[in-house]
Chain A
């Protein structure tokens, strides 16, 4: 089994303490996603606003037990994601910060773009977004129809639509994927400001994870300066989807940890609220506890693989994410079953967890997509087996 080192254990203790602040806010944010604006001073939200900003752009990192934390390591991010999601997954996702887009900027941005992006992030709590998925086409890059076309005078024009984009309606900055020409190398990513003319983001009502504020984005001839096109300094094969895939591989363990946190929250809810447990219930909970441990181990393994740049990292993360989304759903349903008829009404926090759990399935690729990716790793040898 994997054990955390002292540095990461200190971070885990701190994030666990921070997460205690989130639970009392969970139902408020579920009712009103804009409530996040009232809670920007919550410690974990404050940390998230700068998480993943590299040391050269963040002179004031969080210091815990003498260790500096920038959130640039995947293992520490999964530790935080689990603990924060135990507190409230919705609030974790509603928080301002550069998490998803920052990974892409880090992978594809040149020095000037990084400086610009991170200085904006450090200025004030800033929401960002990441727009890849399209209506009717999902995240199939081959079928992507949003276009980025030259418009003279060192500008491009962005035209198309994106859907299921978290936080875009409250964001100042974001990354949009678009096609510059046909073919697999024709997809590229651009940094955009939401204040640009032609950009609109309409919230979509969702069943759970309402803090995330999923949106439908319309790009109606949005002018983009040429220096906001990411990856121009990279080889053609490393721009666009290749970098997106690398970035998503880095983010995937965090999504899995997010599902683990929801599952653990449901488990802990039963322990905290069910006064007596019969033998059968105790056995069910013991089994659930072990499944949480197993999943946590797999997530940590995938995170360490990402941090060590192991070729198998993305496949391990796919396995972890597929298992996490399933466990989140099963654990929350199992927890509800411990409280009998009417549990969804009598235990609104548990009902919320069960609704939130459904959202993990499609985040960063559905379970079936993850399994197909894992299969590819298996048969092509990317998933090394002893």
Chain B
């Protein structure tokens, strides 16, 4: 082996749980394994947490969203500045990024399943060349993100890189959502998970800039 990819099983767990078990399961795992004291707040004092998690609904509850495997609460605390949480930020930032990447992979699975089951004429919709190209574009993005995250430990990737990776995950999700068509717009489908995933990125890393590469799908 001429290159190195360090083992980082702990971080892969967030990704795999998100992909195979869903958003609430993965976010719960993140909270259970990383939270120390109060849940961590984003720079604006916001929190996104699984409903029922201790400390999830302190402050003003601003939204409750139902997803496939449970409910998510978004709140904002004016009295608890970010420093109150003892959760290490570097670990949290990496953990949420890995979690979001797993959700993006789950979205790809949903696209393959959905389009693989639909037909146009006598052919599967998935096997239309434009669709193939769109899927491949998203996979290229995911391969880049995956390679960057592989073996990363907290602090290996600075906030700027993690912020950019989160923006890339959001763009990739949007590419996949466009392939799903109207299904992506339903509140009880994969589009809702992608919406909450974007919210997590927005709270902890700030809004994703529009444009840049990867918008072809």
Chain B residues 21-63 with CB under 8 Å of chain A are none
Q: Is A368 an interface residue (CB 8 A)?
A: yes
Chain B residues 100-117 with CB under 8 Å of chain A are 105, 112, 116
Instruction: Report A247-287 CB contacts with B as 1/0, cut-off 8 Å.
Output: 00000000000000000000000000000000000000011
A2–B132 CB distance below 8 A = no
Of the four ranges (under 10, 10 to 19, 20 to 34, 35 or more), the interface on chain A belongs to: 35 or more
Q: Is B133 an interface residue (CB 8 A)?
A: yes
Q: A1-B151, A5-B2, A301-B143 are in contact. List 17 more A-B contacts (CB 8 A).
A: A2-B147, A3-B3, A294-B145, A298-B144, A301-B3, A301-B147, A307-B2, A322-B136, A327-B213, A368-B133, A371-B133, A371-B136, A374-B139, A375-B133, A383-B139, A385-B105, A386-B16
Residue of A nearest to B157 (CB): A1
User: Contact partner of A322 among B140, B147, B156, CB < 8 A?
Assistant: B140
Q: Is A63 an interface residue (CB 8 A)?
A: no
Cα(A385)–Cα(B150), bound, Å: 13
B105–A372 CB distance below 8 A = no
Tell me how far the C-beta of B103 lies from the nearest C-beta in chain A, rounded to whole angstroms: 14
Q: Give the most central of A1, A4, A8, A372: most B CB within 10 Å.
A: A1
User: Contact partner of A75 among B3, B5, B116, CB < 8 A?
Assistant: B3
Tell me how far the C-beta of B191 lies from the nearest C-beta in chain A, rounded to whole angstroms: 21
A7–B2 CB distance below 8 A = yes
B12–A386 CB distance below 8 A = yes
B213–A294 CB distance below 8 A = no
| B5 cross-chain contacts in A, Cβ below 8 A | 1-2
Cα(A20)–Cα(B164), bound, Å: 31
Instruction: Report B150-183 CB contacts with A as 1/0, cut-off 8 Å.
Output: 1110001100110010000000000000000000
B129–A372 CB distance below 8 A = yes
Cα(A151)–Cα(B160), bound, Å: 66
User: Contact partner of A378 among B2, B136, B160, CB < 8 A?
Assistant: B136
* Interface residues in chain B, defined as those with a beta carbon under 8 Å from any beta carbon in chain A: 1-5, 12, 15-16, 105, 112, 116, 126, 129, 132-133, 135-137, 139-140, 143-145, 147-148, 150-152, 156-157, 160-161, 164, 212-213
Tell me how far the C-beta of A15 lies from the nearest C-beta in chain B, rounded to whole angstroms: 15
Q: Is A345 an interface residue (CB 8 A)?
A: no
- What are some 10 contacts across the A-B interface (CB < 8 A)? A1-B151, A2-B151, A7-B2, A75-B3, A294-B144, A294-B148, A301-B3, A370-B136, A378-B135, A379-B126
Q: Is A330 an interface residue (CB 8 A)?
A: yes
Cα(A137)–Cα(B156), bound, Å: 48
Cα(A378)–Cα(B112), bound, Å: 10
Residue of A nearest to B156 (CB): A1
Cα(A176)–Cα(B145), bound, Å: 39
Chain A residues 269-328 with CB under 8 Å of chain B are 286-287, 290-291, 293-295, 297-298, 300-301, 304, 307-308, 316, 319, 322-323, 326-327
Chain A residues 362-386 with CB under 8 Å of chain B are 368, 370-372, 374-375, 378-379, 383, 385-386
Residue of B nearest to A284 (CB): B212
B135–A2 CB distance below 8 A = no
| B160 cross-chain contacts in A, Cβ below 8 A | 286, 290
B156–A379 CB distance below 8 A = no
A1–B147 CB distance below 8 A = yes
Cα(A291)–Cα(B116), bound, Å: 32
> Lowest 5 CB-CB distances: which A-B pairs, in order?
A371-B136, A2-B3, A375-B132, A297-B147, A294-B144
